[in-house]
Amino acid sequence: MCIAPTQYSLSYTNNHGKAKDRVVRLLDTTLRDGEQMPGISLTPQQKLEIALALAELGVDSIEAGFPITSRGEFEAVKTIAREVRGTEVIALARAEKADIDKVIEAEVPAVHTFIATSDLHMKYKLRMSPGQVIEKAVWAVEYAKSHGLVVEFSAEDATRSNLRFLIKVFQAVVEAGADRIDIPDTVGVAYPSYMSSLVSYVRSSVKGSYILSVHCHNDFGMAVANSVTAIESGADQAHVTVLGVGERAGNAALEEVASALAFLYGYKVKIDFSKINKVAKLVAQHFGLQIPPNKAIVGANAFSHESGIHVHGVLNHPLTYEPIDPSIVGAERRIVVGKHSGKHAIMYVIKQLGYEPREDVVMRLLNKVKDLADRGIRVNQNLLIKLVKEEYGE
């Protein structure tokens, strides 16, 4: 049973008026980190469809892919860069000439180039000295800038890197012309207070003009909390993916980060929230995923109510048990009838079907519903309508 949306103005934010004028950038990487989710491979057509939906949703930047990966990936990135209008398209490249050349060849206007800066990665993966890493990072940024690209530089595994070395790398790439620097929490080991001090430290230590970004992973369920904390501590941009898809436990979920920034903190984001549920469904479909019902903002239960106390409250005033009006995020409020129902939900359903809710009928129906639920039978809308009609002799 859906309740027709009753528009009410948002009256709840936590920001105490301090956040209002800051505009936060969102770089969506559903089509790059998201597609690196184990077992996922999208066709170029599916990638384009998602990119166009993301542009319509209003993200600031779409990371379309990693062009050197495969021929199909290269073509998909090239097509997205050609077809998407009004939103920056960016592509991933290691700090390698061959990778950056592929981005240039795909006619993408922006490159996201990266090299690892943690001792662990430098020693066991790159087999390079810190000096060589800085040299390569600077070379990559200068090379990309000399081809007219917007450059975002990521210090891979930043949250496990030596802090003084990290600052040195960031300072060097900013001086080489990087437009944006990004702090990736590559294996999701940061937690909010740590992220907060790291972001503040980078912001105050690295001199020059640059946009500061974070890229958070969800290995400990902290991706969204770390992202919004980073923004609160002075970062300008967060990397996000729709539904939090991504490597391992995934990335920070776009719908959660954007909603928290806008509705809790009061920052400005350029997202058209009314489209956010539609985009989530499209991504779920192309990734072959079921959206968990309890998923924030876009889950089927995000604005559903069954318990008697909650239904009674919501029917009197929706804000009693909802943080925001579901229609703001393109969702619907649902009243679900079951074991936890009270008479107000039953009365509501009877009225919706055009009958007068007599006390004896309401109580009889409520008992029937609870009996069925106790036997494990889910009382869906069709069954409920049938029960009501039986009571009224139809």
What is the contact surface with Mn ion in residues (CB under 5 A)?
33
Instruction: Report long-range pairs for 340-344 (Cβ below 8 Å, ≥24 apart).
Output: 340/306, 340/307, 340/308, 341/306, 341/307, 341/308, 341/311, 341/366, 341/369, 341/370, 342/307, 342/308, 342/309, 342/311, 342/312, 342/366, 343/308, 344/308, 344/311, 344/312, 344/315
Q: Terminus-to-terminus CA distance in the chain, angstroms? A: 20
In angstroms, give the least distance from the CB of 146 to Mn ion: 27
**Residue number, nearest CB to Mn ion:** 33
Residues in contact with 221: Cβ distance below 8 Å, sequence separation at least 6, in sequence order: 249
Q: Which CB sits closer to Mn ion, 159 or 277?
A: 159
Minimum CB separation of residue 239 from Mn ion in Å reads 8
Minimum distance from residue 186 beta carbon to Mn ion (Å): 6
Question: Judged by CB, which is closer to Mn ion: 66, or 265?
Answer: 66
Question: Can you tell me the distance from the alpha carbon of 5 to that of 318, in angstroms, rounded to the nearest whole number?
Answer: 10
For every residue of 60-116, DSSP letters joined together read: SEEEEE-TTS-HHHHHHHHHHHHH--SSEEEEEEESSHHHHHHHHHTT-SEEEEEEE
The residue among 33 and 152 lying less far from Mn ion, judged by its C-beta, is: 33
| 76 or 216: CB nearest Mn ion | 216
> What SS3 class is residue 302?
coil
Instruction: Count CB atoms within 10 A of the CB of residue 84.
Output: 18
User: 281 and 311 in contact (C-beta within 8 Å)?
Assistant: no
Q: Smallest distance, Å, CB 169 to Mn ion?
A: 18
* Residue carrying structure tokens 């089927």: 300
What amino acid is encoded at 352 in this protein?
A: Q
**Could you give the CA distance from residue 380 to residue 368 in angstroms, rounded to a whole number?**
13
Q: Which is nearer to Mn ion, 33 or 63 (CB)?
A: 33
Question: For strand 2-3 and strand 333-335, is the pairing parallel, antiparallel, or unpaired?
Answer: antiparallel
Q: Minimum Å distance from CB 235 to Mn ion?
A: 16
The residue (of 153 and 267) whose beta carbon lies closer to Mn ion is 153
Least distance from Mn ion to the Cβ atom of residue 217, Å? 6
Distance in Å, CB of 31 to Mn ion, minimum: 13
Nearer to Mn ion, 223 or 362 (CB): 223
Beta carbon of residue 111, minimum distance to Mn ion (angstroms, whole number): 16
Contact of 338 with 2, CB cutoff 8 Å: no
- Are 342 and 312 in contact by the 8 Å Cβ rule? The answer is yes
**Identity of the residue, 241 or 304, whose beta carbon is nearer to Mn ion in the bound complex:** 241
Min dist CB 147 to Mn ion, Å, is 25
Measured from the CB atom, is 46 or 186 closer to Mn ion? 186
Tokens linked to 307: 């318990």
